[in-house]
Amino acid sequence: MRILIAGFQHETNTFAPSRADYDNFVRGEGFPAMSRGDAMLALQDVNIPAGGFIAETLALGHTLLPVVWAAASPSAHVTRQAYERIAGEITEAAVQLAPDAIYLDLHGAMVAEHIDDGEGELLSRLREIVGARVPIVASLDLHANVTERMLTMADGLVAYRTYPHVDMADTGRACARLLAKIASEQRLTRVSRRLPFLIPVNAMCTLMAPAQQVYERIAALEAGMGMASMSFTPGFPAADFPGCGPVVWGYAEDASAARRAVDALYASIADDEAAWSIELLAPDVAVREAMRIATGASRPVVIADTQDNPFGGADSNTTGMLRALIDNHAVDAALGLLYDPAVARLAHEAGVGATITCALGGQSGVAGDAPLYAAFEVVHLSDGRCIFEGPMMTGSQVDVGPTACLRIGGVSVVVSSAKTSMNDRNLFRMAGIVPERMKILVNKSSVHFRADFGPIAEAILVAKAPGPMAADPADLPWKSLASGMRLKPNGAAFRPAH
C-alpha cells in the first residue's frame, strides 16, 4: 500500500493560561520538533506512535508518504492559524497523493479556537477527500477525549495502554496491524460506550490500581474474545466541551463478541467508580512528609507538583512548592523545571558564582500564586539541550533554551527558557543536578515522571499547590460539559446554566 502518514498532536486544557500557536509546534516543546517528508522517517528511532508505525509498515514492505509531524506542549486552545496551517498541509497532501490508506498520529484531546473537536474535524476533512473505501486509522493518547465523530470518521482508532506512556511506539505498531486487517477487507464491527464520570489525571496511572487492573483486563478480553483491537481512554478532564470524558471501544469480526467485550470492560470500570480517586497533599504537608521519609533514606523522595504540570496545560512557573521547600528549611532538595526566560537570561548574564536578586516565577494568575522575590546563587548554566534516556520518549532530543540552576538555602531550582514536563532525569542532569543524590525532588509533572523517577524513589507524594491544571476536575468552572456528567468519581452531576 501507499500510506499517507502525518502527526498532529495537542492536549488542550481549555482552562489554561497560554495558547498554542504555530511556532509552538515548530519547536515541539518537549516533543520532537516539527518534521516533514523523508525527515519523518528518523522518528522510527523515537518512542512515539509514528515511530512504531513507520518501523512496522516499512518492515511489511509498504510505501510511506510522509507529510508532516507536529506536536506542542499541552496548553489552552490551538490557534485558528496553527490548526488550519497544519491540518491544511495534511489535507492538501491527501488530495495530491491519492493514497491507498492514511495513518495519523493524533492525541485525541485537541480543541482549537474555532473547533471543539480538532481530531474529529481533521478526520472528517480527510474522509471527504478520500471517500469511504480508503481506510483511515489513527493512534491516540490514553488521555484522548474520544468523540462519536472521531469513531465514525476513522476505520480504526488505537489508544495507549500505559500512563506514563511507555508504549507509544507499541501503539503505532498495533495501529499498523489493525490497518492491515482493515485493508484486507476484513469486516469489523465497532462498539463503543461512554462512561458517566470524569476521572482525575493522577488516578489514571497504570502502575497502580485501579488503572493497572483495567488495562490487564483489556489485554485479556482482547485475546480471549477474538477482538481485533480494544481501547479505553480515561480522557483529559480539562476540556470544556460535551465530548470530554472516558470512553471504551473495540473492533471485532463478531459483532456480538464486540458488544460483550466492551460491556464487560465498561462494567468493570463503572462498578468500581469510587476507586478512581486519589489523595492530594497541601504543599507544606507534602514537604514535611518528604523530609520525614528522607531521614535515613538512601534514595530521594519525589513530590509531584501536579497542578503546575506543563503536560497538562500549565505554564510550569508557579512558586507554591518552592516556597514550601524554603519555608520548611528543606536541604538537598531540587525543583524543576520552573519556566522563567527572563530569570534564566539574568543568570546567564551574571555567570556561575554570582548572586542575583529577582522575582522568580509566579506569573500563572492563579489565586494563591505570586512571584518569589529573593536572592539566588547561580550554581550552573546550560544551553538546555539533552536527549531523553528514560522510558518516556526515549531518544527524543529536547531543547528548553538557556537554563540555570539557582540555589537558595538548601534548595536548588532549575530555571528554563522553554517549558516541558520534568519526566526524564536528564533534565536535572543537564542543569548540574544528580537526581539520585538528592533527598527531595519536586517535579512539575503529574504521572509521566514515574517512568524514570519511580525506580530511584524512596516514596512518591502528590501535592496540590496552586496552579492552572486542576488535579480535581470538580474544581473547574465548567460551562459546556455534557449534561449529567459527574465532575469526579461519585461527584455531583454537571447541569448547564441554560
Name, in order, each residue with C-beta under 8 angstroms of 18's C-beta and a sequence gap of 6 or more: 75, 76, 315
Which of 365 and 383 is assigned the larger pLDDT? 383
Going by their DSSP bridges, the two strands 35-36 and 63-71 should be labelled as: antiparallel
User: Does residue 396 surpass a pLDDT of 80?
Assistant: yes
Query: Over the stretch 208-224, which tens digit does the pLDDT of each residue have?
Result: 999 999 999 999 999 99
What pLDDT score was predicted for residue 392? 85
307 in Cβ contact with 318 (< 8 Å):
yes
Residues 17, 164, 26, 78, CA torsion sign = negative
Residue 247, phi then psi, degrees to nearest 5: -140, 140
Whole-angstrom distance, CA of residue 311 vs CA of residue 75: 8
Whole-angstrom distance, CA of residue 128 vs CA of residue 234: 29
User: Does residue 393 surpass a pLDDT of 90?
Assistant: no
Name, in order, each residue with C-beta under 8 angstroms of 347's C-beta and a sequence gap of 6 or more: 354, 356, 376, 378, 381, 404, 406, 415
Which of 186 and 19 is assigned the larger pLDDT? 19
Query: Over the stretch 316-339, which tens digit does the pLDDT of each residue have?
Result: 999 999 999 999 999 999 999 999
User: Does residue 257 surpass a pLDDT of 80?
Assistant: yes
Query: Over the stretch 296-321, which tens digit does the pLDDT of each residue have?
Result: 899 999 999 999 999 998 899 999 99
Task: Give residue 63's identity as a one-letter amino acid code.
Answer: T
Q: What is the secondary structure of 382-436 as a DSSP string?
A: E--EEE--SSTTTT-EEE--SEEEEEETTEEEEEESS-----STHHHHTTT--GG
Q: Where in the chain is the domain with CATH 3.40.50.2300?
A: 2-276
User: Does residue 38 surpass a pLDDT of 80?
Assistant: yes
Q: Give the other-Cβ count within 10 Å of 292's Cβ.
A: 11
Query: Over the stretch 49-72, which tens digit does the pLDDT of each residue have?
Result: 999 999 999 999 999 999 999 999
Work out the mean pLDDT of the chain and round it to a whole number: 96
Element (H, E) at 378: strand 372-382
When pLDDT is averaged across residues 457-481 and rounded to a whole number, the result is: 96
Whole-angstrom distance, CA of residue 70 vs CA of residue 85: 11
Whole-angstrom distance, CA of residue 464 vs CA of residue 260: 39
**CA-based R_g, the chain, Å:** 22
B/e letters for 12-50, b = 16+ CB within 10 Å, e = fewer, are: bbbbbbbbbbbebbebbbbbbbbbeeeebbebbebbbbb
When pLDDT is averaged across residues 30-42 and rounded to a whole number, the result is: 94
Identify the band that residue 17 occupies on the pLDDT scale cut at 50, 70 and 90.
confident
What pLDDT score was predicted for residue 319? 98
Please give the grid coordinates belonging to residue 321.
Answer: 512548592
Which residues pair with residue 304 across a beta bridge? 443, 462
Phi-psi label, residue 368: left if phi above 0, alpha if psi -120 to 50, beta otherwise: left
Please report, rounded to a whole number, the percentage of residues in the chain having pLDDT higher than 70: 100
What pLDDT score was predicted for residue 187? 85
User: Alpha helix locations (H) across 37-144?
Assistant: 49-59, 80-97, 118-130
B/e letters for 218-256, b = 16+ CB within 10 Å, e = fewer, are: beebbeebebbbbbbbbbbbbbbbbbbbbbbbbbbeeee
User: Does residue 461 surpass a pLDDT of 90?
Assistant: yes
CA angle in degrees (0–180, nearest 5) for 30-31-34: 125
Torsion of CA 198, 199, 201, 204, to 10 degrees: -150
Residue 448: exposed, middle, or buried by beta-carbon count in 10 A (0-12, 13-18, 19+)? Answer: buried
What pLDDT score was predicted for residue 83? 98
User: Does residue 498 surpass a pLDDT of 80?
Assistant: no
Q: Give the other-Cβ count within 10 Å of 459's Cβ.
A: 15
Name the CATH superfamily, with its identifier, for domain 2-276.
Answer: Response regulator (3.40.50.2300)
468 in Cβ contact with 311 (< 8 Å):
no
Residue 105, phi then psi, degrees to nearest 5: -95, 95
Residues in the chain: 498
Going by their DSSP bridges, the two strands 440-443 and 333-339 should be labelled as: parallel
102 in Cβ contact with 79 (< 8 Å):
no
Whole-angstrom distance, CA of residue 356 vs CA of residue 373: 10
Q: What is the secondary structure of 214-240 as a DSSP string?
A: HHHHHHHHHHHTTEEEEEEE---TT--
Name which of 322, 316, 306, 301 is nearest 363 in CA terms. Answer: 316
